Structure 1
Amino acid sequence: MREVKGFNMTQTINVVDAMCGAGKTSWAIQHINENIGQNKKLAFGDSGEPMKYIYVTPYLREVERIQEATDIDFFEPEAKGTKIKSFEALITLGRSVATTHELFKKLDLNILDAIEEKGYTLIMDEVASVLEQYDISKSDIKLLIDNGTIEIGENDKVVWLDDDYKGKFSDMKILAESDNLILQNGIAVFWTMNTRAFEAFDEVYVLTYMFDGQEQCNYYMANDIKFKKYSVKDSDGHYELIDYDPTLEPRKEMYEKLNIYLDDETNKKKSPLNSNYDSREKLTEQQRWSQLSSTWYRKHAIPKDLKQLNNNLRNYFRSVEPTENEYIFWTTISDFAPTLKNAKCKWNKNGDRASDNFVALNARATNAYGHCKSMAYVYNRFVNPIEKNFFREYDIEVDENKLAVSDLIQFLFRGCIRNGEPMNCYIPSERMRSLLKDWSEFKL
């Protein structure tokens, strides 16, 4: 087991773990508005200042929503110069800031120190990307070490030695100098969010769903960061946090509104659209269970299989559940979207919504597709084995089933089910359909 680095955070992270539509964002807006004028003691010194917030959300349009819905001035970093410099200037002035996940993960130690000094509360809408594999070969890692450009320090941290380095790994140098790079087993380099990104705040609230299955939860456990989960209670439009209780979730009611394309269980037959995309014969149980995974797409699917899957998608939206294109949203691995696109499932490399109903697998915290009546999730979610091994070195076992169903539910809630309306669902992976049913019965 790798030694876990020390974490000096005294408070506990507040994880608001509730289904989409339960009122997480509404609670956050209410919380901000109710605390206007309240003073908080600074981290250094005896004087107090009004509550200050950093609100982090995946999309710019959600930044605008928070600015409009709250009664304090939320400033958005400007693109003049660089946004990170603008962010730093706003913190220096003690302004409340609304920004995106992408900018938040770029905060350096100097900015985090300023945040701590000013006394901020962090509200993070949806979990952050806290772990990413850096694209570098084993031979390049060896070359950098042999040349004295880097060394591997305590806790496998990548330490950059060449201050004057300019070359193809300049971006890696920046990450290493922010104390954010780890070498795993000498073969894989990972960027991890610095724990100071949470330590620097007086209070932290993370708004999400099924936190236990997500990467950020594993990251917290690996770094010994304490967290407490809460549910949201809606009392006639007034929201409060209560002790976490998943049984309050209307899982059964939601599941019954999903018109899922299923196998013919009465006659023990596989429905064609759920079984004819794989040309291999006599599949083992493991092969059948892992179909439509990343490994299946990249190693086992032949052109014939992908063509059949393309036909299945078109057939589903034309014949099984006829739906106009503007009311469809669908997803798969982005690398294979150009192959699976068709007259019903549109894909535009520039993401032009006018000619595109493809939605990224990790889409969260957006209401842009709430009018869509039919969806397709053409994927079988597993954890990257290298990432799984990364956490295993901290004695953390990733719960792949919770992660998979969490991602699926997040995707489902991009559509009209978020408004309580019935929705047509094409989920060809047997495993993903099974996990969704288990979730509805509180088995996950």
Structure 2
Amino acid sequence: MGSGKTSWSIQYINKNPFANFLYITPFLEEVERIIRNTNRDFTQPINRGNGKLDAINELLACQADIASTHELFKHLDEESRENIKNGHYILILDEVLNVIEPYDNIRNDDMRLLKESGCVTVDDDGFVIWNKNKIDYDTKYNEIKILADNKSLIYINQKLLLWRYPPEIFTLFDEVYILTYLFEASILKNYFDLYKIGYEQKSISVQNKEYFITDFFVPNTSIYIEKINIYNGKLNENIHQKINSLSVTWFKAKINQDNIKQIKRNLYNYFSNILSAKADTIMWTTFKDYKSKLKGKGYSNQFVSCNCRSTNKYDKTYNLAYCVNVYLHPGITQFFKQKGVNINEELYGLSEMIQWIWRSRIRNGETINIYIPSMRMRNLLNEWMCMNLDYQNRIAS
């Protein structure tokens, strides 16, 4: 994080005036940054009545340079694919795309109805297939029909639907650059491995204000031991701890409601009494569904989503609280496991936490304070800062 990936992208775009670029980023503010800082006529798809998908397809057909969001990129259709291939586009993907996600727009009862009516079947690989004899049916399940036709829906254990991004889209571009840290921890890396999409890991270096792609190296993270002050006092001891404490499942359990109230008291104590922190220096998080249970006086409005990344909006904050314990959704883990791919959950959790922490002023090399009530996440951050280079390189390889 903060190594100059976006700056390299802007430089690369400016140095290749005859290439067609599709720049995809999580946030609209980063879309606007690319539009402002490149010497190209980048266009952002705008809904003029027929939806943003029609807008991006029109731009792709015209071989325009396009800057847009992850969300729109996830909805590219057959027309988009043809235009990308014909336009010889270069894709720059800012941060990894969520290529496998739970699909919650349909209940188990609906799925059973679709199967019993003969509208859908599930093939040997778990993909939901819409019956071609019923392709003209116009029902409330039209979205299911479209996703099934794209082989984007997977049925796991007869009870869970997952949305899958079509892997063939990545093969349509002349070049693909993915800007992220700890790629080896991501779902996208495991997805590429599963679908045999080749890739090379590289790093960014800067010399005389010019950015270069270099051979991959793992930076020495021990320099952050002096910059990240992890709280290690009594507030870590007044919560009953197990390895999965502060996970989504833990927050849901009624038995943990007293512990949740204690975390709320700890947050107030940490920010108000231990740090005497002013509101504009604070950044804190938990899972969105449990924000209301932890928010309190003096820090409520400083909440930053735990999956926030690719933004400099909070780079003046330095008093942090990370009140989550990150695990992959069990359906995603099960999907990969059935395919013979085991995901490193520890590395995944570490990556998610570091991405969040780097929204603060640590990205500028300045010191921060952080309270991490989860024993597991606290240990992961300590281990990351204390890793020697040989050990980091073994993980990366």
Common fold: TM-score over 0.5: yes
| Residue in structure 2 matched with residue 344 of structure 1 by the alignment | 298
Partner residue of 2:118?
A: 148
* Other-structure match for 1:106: 75
The aligned residue for residue 127 of structure 2 is: 157
- Measured in 2, the distance between the counterparts of 1:54 and 1:291 equals 41
Q: 2:359 & 2:149 partners in 1: Cα distance?
A: 38
Q: Secondary structure at the match of 1:189?
A: strand
Aligned to 1:87: 56
- Deviation of 1:62 (Å): 0.4
- What are the equivalent positions in structure 2 for 1:24-43 lying under 5 Å apart? 24-36=5-17
Aligned residue for 2:242, secondary structure, equals helix
Distance 1:237 1:292, change over 3 A: same
1:251 paired with 2:251, answer no
| Matched AA of 1:410 | Q
Equivalent-residue separation in structure 2 for 1:130 and 1:33 (angstroms): 29
Q: 1:69 aligns with which of 27, 37, 41?
A: 37
- C-alpha distance in structure 2 between counterparts of 1:300 and 1:258, whole Å: 34
> Which of 239, 253, 261 does residue 211 from structure 2 map onto?
239
1:260 is aligned to 2:230: yes
Residue by residue over 1:321-347, the C-alpha shift from the partner in whole angstroms, topping out at 9 and shown as x without a partner, is 12111211111011100111101231x
CA shift for structure 1 position 110: 1.8
Q: CA deviation at 1:171?
A: 2.3
Partner of 2:367: 422
CA distance in 1, matches of 2:24, 2:181: 16
How far apart are 1:288 and its partner, in Å?
1.6
Match for 2:338 among 377, 393, 396? Answer: 393
Gaps of at least 5 residues in structure 1 are 1-19, 37-49, 263-270, 279-286, 347-355
Separation in 1, partners of 2:336, 2:243: 24
Consecutive unaligned residues in structure 2, runs of 5 or more = 393-397
Q: Deviations over 1:333-373 (max 9, x none)?
A: 11100111101231xxxxxxxxx211111101000000112
- C-alpha distance in 2, partners of 1:255/1:174? 50
Structure 1 residue matching 2:302: 3-state secondary structure: coil
* Bigger mean CA offset, 361-370 vs 320-329: 320-329
List per-residue Cα deviations over 1:105-148 (Å, max 9, x = no partner): 00012211111011000000000110111124444322211111
RMSD: 1.5
Partner in structure 1 of residue 237 of structure 2: 275
- 8 Å CA contact 1:112–1:196 kept in 2: the answer is no
Structure 1: distance between partners of 2:352 and 2:337: 21
Inter-CA distance 312–362: structure 2 relative to 1 (3 Å threshold): same
Partners of 1:373 and 1:441 lie apart in 2 by 21
TM-score normalised by structure 1 residue count? 0.84
Of 213, 216, 226, which aligns to 2:188? 216
Q: Matched residue of 2:66: which SS?
A: strand
* Cα deviation, residue 166, structure 1: 4.1
Q: Which has the higher helix share?
A: 2
- Secondary structure at the aligned position of 2:354 is classed as helix
Which one-letter code corresponds to 2:117 in the other structure? N
Superposition deviation, residue 300 in structure 1? 5.4
Aligned-residue offset at 1:200:
1.0
Paired position in structure 1 for 2:146:
174
Give the Cα–Cα distance (whole angstroms) in 1 for the partners of residues 279 and 220 of structure 2. 29
Structure 1 residues 381-417: Cα deviation after superposition (integer angstroms, max 9, x where no partner): 1122221110011111010111011011100100011
Distance in 2 (alpha carbons) for counterparts of 1:191 and 1:79: 24
Q: Alignment length, in residue pairs?
A: 385
The residue that corresponds to 2:395 in the other structure is: none
Cα distance change, pair 313–128 in 1 and its aligned pair in 2 (3 A): same
Which residue in 1 is equivalent to 2:270? Answer: 316
Tell me the secondary structure at the aligned position of residue 302 of structure 1. Answer: helix
* Superposed structure 1 runs of 4+ greater than 6 Å apart: none
